[in-house]
Structure 1
Amino acid sequence: MNHSSPRVAMLIIDMINDFSFEEGQDLIESASNLPEKVSILKKQLKSYNVPIIYVNDNYGRWQSDFKDLFNHCMQQQQNVREFNELIKPEEDDYFVLKPQFSGFYATPLDILLRQLDVQTLILCGVAGNMCVHFTANDAYMRGYQLFIPSDLSASLTKEENEQAISIMKTVLGATTTSSENLSIDSLLEDAEEYYDRTI
């Protein structure tokens, strides 16, 4: 199989985050193991040339670009800085700033994915029951195949996150295998087959 142009992209949702909102500290605690786990999968996927796209809230900072946003997060308190540092974007990663919960709403995400010839998405990030779920809904309506590893998103509580994962699996047909049990070779083959069926 040709790994030079995989039909899959990884969306990292709202992980560049200042957590300076009500319940922000509760969410960062709930998501504390995410940056390391997401980084491991990100590294594995990049070895197959899978594009990585940071899909991020702009927190009302309409005059900022993504680098400004990251720098802003790196000026917060220590636990916030450490969280962001662990999931720091690299030069060849893509980014899309969003004004609302869904990564597709009023953004160029769909155009970017079609330019990359991608029809399958791996979603991870915070919060699982909000921005990950809203993005998954919009992706599903646009015909994308979804992989949402059960251990790569977090909500305020574990129960809320499990409920969101369950809905995305049942209603949106998402594969929710945990990142440790995800076979990247199988995923890429599946994505290739899905792409061939849908073009």
Structure 2
Amino acid sequence: MPRTALIVIDMLDTYAHEDAEALVPSVREAHPGIATLLRNARAGDPPVIYVNDDFGEWRSHHGEIVSTALDGRHRDLVEPVVPDVVVAADAVAHIDAGLARAALRMMRTNMSATVCPADEIAIDARRPE
């Protein structure tokens, strides 16, 4: 059986570009369906993959992309589609334990990540039949 993944494309948007206001009505119309897909995916096991053009700043990180989009003109369209980030605290390789703890704090702060032991993270390891 084929596996399903949800791919969310260009929904983390500042709506500050030239054709943003022309786009907003279409986003509002699609938004309930996207929210339903995200809710269903998060309740089940398919992976959710976010693809964003990164505002042309190809070196940005998750926290920067999310906070920039949330600070944009239409926060109400961004907030419901912000990705969940989970980090396995005991699966961080390091050369210095203090740096590893600092990295985990940074992920909590900058990415709003949930940090927990690897065995508490549910990942569907089934292979397609």
Above 0.5 in TM-score?
A: yes
Q: CA deviation at 1:45?
A: 2.4
Q: Report the secondary structure of 1:15's partner residue.
A: coil
RMSD of aligned Cα (Å): 2.7
1:85 equivalenced with 2:83 (yes/no): no
Secondary structure at the counterpart of residue 23 of structure 2: helix
Task: Specify the alignment match of 2:59 in structure 1.
Answer: 63
Instruction: Please give the alpha-carbon distance, in whole angstroms, between the structure 1 residues aligned to 2:61 and 2:41.
Output: 26
The match for 2:70 is 74
Structure with bigger gyration radius: 2
Pairs aligned (count): 92
SS at match of 1:20: coil
**Higher relative contact order (Cα pairs below 8 Å, separated by 6+ residues):** 2
Q: Is the 8 A contact 2:13 2:72 kept in 1?
A: no
- Deviation per CA, 1:147-199: give whole Å up to 9, x if none: xxxxxxxxxxxxxxxxxxxxxxxxxxxxxxxxxxxxxxxxxxxxx8xx55xxx
Identify the residue that residue 18 of structure 1 maps to in structure 2. Answer: 14
Structure 1 segment 26-175 matched on structure 2, within 5 A: 26-77=22-73, 80-92=74-86
Contact 1:36 1:86 in 2 (8 A): no
Instruction: Please report the TM-score for the alignment, with normalisation by the length of structure 1.
Output: 0.41
| Partner AA of 1:85 in structure 2 | E
CA displacement 1:55-96 (0-9 Å, x = unmatched) = 11111113311220110111122xx1111012121124xxxx
SS at match of 1:33: helix
Any unmatched runs of 5+ in structure 1? Answer: 93-115, 118-191
In 2, the alpha carbon distance for the partners of 1:86 and 1:27 equals: 17
Percent pairwise identity: 25
* 2:31/2:77 contact within 8 Å kept: yes
**Which whole-Å deviations, capped at 9, do the CAs of 1:106-150 have from their partners, x for residues lacking one?**
xxxxxxxxxx99xxxxxxxxxxxxxxxxxxxxxxxxxxxxxxxxx
Amino acid at match of 2:79: E
> Does the 8 A contact of 1:13 with 1:56 survive in 2?
yes
Does the 8 Å CA contact 1:18/1:73 hold for their aligned counterparts?
Answer: yes
Moved over 4 A (4+): none
SS in 2 for 1:54: strand
Output the TM-score relative to the length of structure 2: 0.60
Give unmatched runs, 5+ long, in structure 2.
Answer: 87-123
